[in-house]
Amino acid sequence: MTRISRALAVAAAASLAAAACSSGGGTTAVPSTAQSQPSGQAAKGDGTLTIGTTLPQTGSLAYLGPPEFAGVDLAVKEVNEAGGVLGKPVVKIDTDSGDTTTNIASQSVDKLLAQKADAIIGAASSSVSKSIIDKVTGAGVVQFSPANTSDEFTTIKDDGLYFRTAPPDKLQGRVLGDLAVADGNDTIGILAMQDFYGSGLADQVTQTAEAGGAQVVERVDYDPKAADFSADVAKIKAKNPKAIMLIGFEETAKVVQELVKQGLTADKHQWYMVDGNMSNTNYLKSPRGTLKGVKGTIPGAAAPAAFQKRLLSVDPKLTNYTYAAESYDAAILIALAAQAAKDDSGKAIAAKLEDVSKGGEKCQGFKACADLLKAGKDIDYDGVSGPVDFNDVGDPSVATIGVYQYGADNRYDAAKALEYRRGDISG
């Protein structure tokens, strides 16, 4: 069943119970004709593929910006070295996504639309992407995130124009919940930022951990902009859980300080983190050993050494590779879809993204895949981040989650995961 026909069937069934599906943060998912093609004839592109980026240069996920920008930069460089798309160089325009405390992302989208972007890569934050998705897709432009993990994007209204290379949180949540149980924790406390990302991930962790026999004895969904987290941490302390899940962004550094202050240290309680706060810079001011033994999950396999070397050719200062592969694959897939459609318009690209990601002759890299397309072949692009293989709602159908551990220096080795867990997103 195609992405379009499946969405229409899902919409018909979902209309009977639309009010029943919402996130932990209180935002209702929209089970509408989300993936159906817009009415009317899609406009042809102008012959030049223009890719915009709305990625974090500032804000709570700014540490993810450099690897994401580098991934897109490398992809565009390689595409243009191979002759570009439709015989012309790809144009790239970078903008800042900021975070939900500002209106930067909306202003950035306005700028990109004014400059005729056909596809926009971003945002990193699920909440930021939610704030701009109507503006982007309403303009007939593809929105493609390398890092959005909120489950709600699977059913959000997007006119068939939203895609992502990062897996939905139901997989990361399952891995986290299973990990905590496997480590022998039968009581768990959760401190989650109250937003589109944090609350949804906390829901999945709770479901999985409790299905595995553990009990979530306390869950606190906190305001990430709060000046003080003492009351939130005190609620966790009162229940004295064996494990503590920390689901947030850069404000987690302040939460960590409060946990230590109240005696809930990582040597007495097993802490777990997520992709939003797994950072090698945010905790360096903490005393040595504060994060020793802390485990965390990041979607995607580690960036291969050869790929890291290529990334350094576009950003020699790069030290973090999180979501670089997903960003690279997003840009390559957009270029291949435009080439396959022989049209750089957003709607034409969206119509071909699923096709170029699976079902044809396997290929890697833009040049090899583009050569097959020019020879009239159907292709199956396998990316650096994995096989991708979009399902009919624009999510990768399978994905890998890496489990990492902090050392005494309050850093984790991004090149050395404790393990990788691969999962079927539909399961």
Examine the domain organization and report whether 35 and 122 are in the same domain: yes
Indicate the number of domains in the chain: 2
Residues 22 and 149 in one domain: yes
pLDDT digits (tens, 9 = 90+) for 182-221: 999 999 999 999 998 999 999 999 999 999 999 999 999 9
pLDDT at 170: 87
C-alpha angle 173-252-296 in degrees, rounded to nearest 5: 40
Amino acid identity of 153? Answer: F
pLDDT band at 12 (very low <50, low <70, confident <90, very high): very low
Residues 228 and 361 in one domain: no
Instruction: Return d(Cα 370, Cα 141) in angstroms, integer.
Output: 22
What is the model's pLDDT at position 302? 80
Q: What is the pLDDT of residue 59?
A: 94
Q: Which domain holds residue 150?
A: 3-167+304-396
pLDDT at 401: 92
- Kindly state whether residues 67 and 161 are assigned to the same domain: yes
- As a whole number of Å, the end-to-end CA separation of the chain is 18
Q: Which of 59, 48, 55 is nearest to 70 (CA)?
A: 55
Q: pTM for this one? A: 0.81
pLDDT digits over 67-77, tens only? 999 999 999 99
Q: Rounded to whole angstroms, how far apart are CA atoms 323 and 279?
A: 13
How distant is the alpha carbon of residue 196 from its chain centre?
A: 13
Structure confidence at residue 426 as a pLDDT band (50, 70, 90): low
Give the CATH number of the domain where residue 413 resides.
3.40.50.2300
| Whether residue 110 is found in the same domain as residue 178 | no
Residues 309, 268 within the same domain: no
26 and 140 co-located in one domain: yes
Tell me the per-residue pLDDT of 87-109, one tens digit each, with 9 for 90 and over: 999 999 999 999 999 999 999 99
One DSSP character per residue, 164-215 reads ESSPPHHHHHHHHHHHHHHTT--EEEEEEESSHHHHHHHHHHHHHHHHTT-E
The reply to whether 225 and 263 lie within a common domain is: yes
pLDDT at 21 over 70: no
Q: Please tell me whether residues 34 and 142 are part of one structural domain.
A: yes
Q: How confident is the model at residue 2 (pLDDT cuts 50, 70, 90)?
A: very low
Instruction: Indicate whether 238 and 378 sit together in one domain.
Output: no
Quick: pLDDT tens for 295-319.
Answer: 999 988 788 899 999 999 999 999 8
Residues 315 and 371 in one domain: yes
User: What's the distance, CA 406 to chain centroid?
Assistant: 22
How many whole angstroms from its chain centre is CA 1?
Answer: 25
pLDDT confidence bin for 26, thresholds 50/70/90: very low
Task: Summarize pLDDT for 135-166 with one digit per residue, the tens.
Answer: 999 999 999 999 999 989 999 999 999 999 99
Q: Are residues 327 and 415 in the same domain?
A: no
Give the tens place of pLDDT for each residue, 319-342: 889 999 999 999 999 999 999 999
Distance between CA 329 and CA 166 in Å, rounded? 10
Predicted confidence at residue 43, as pLDDT, reads 54
pLDDT, averaged across the chain: 89
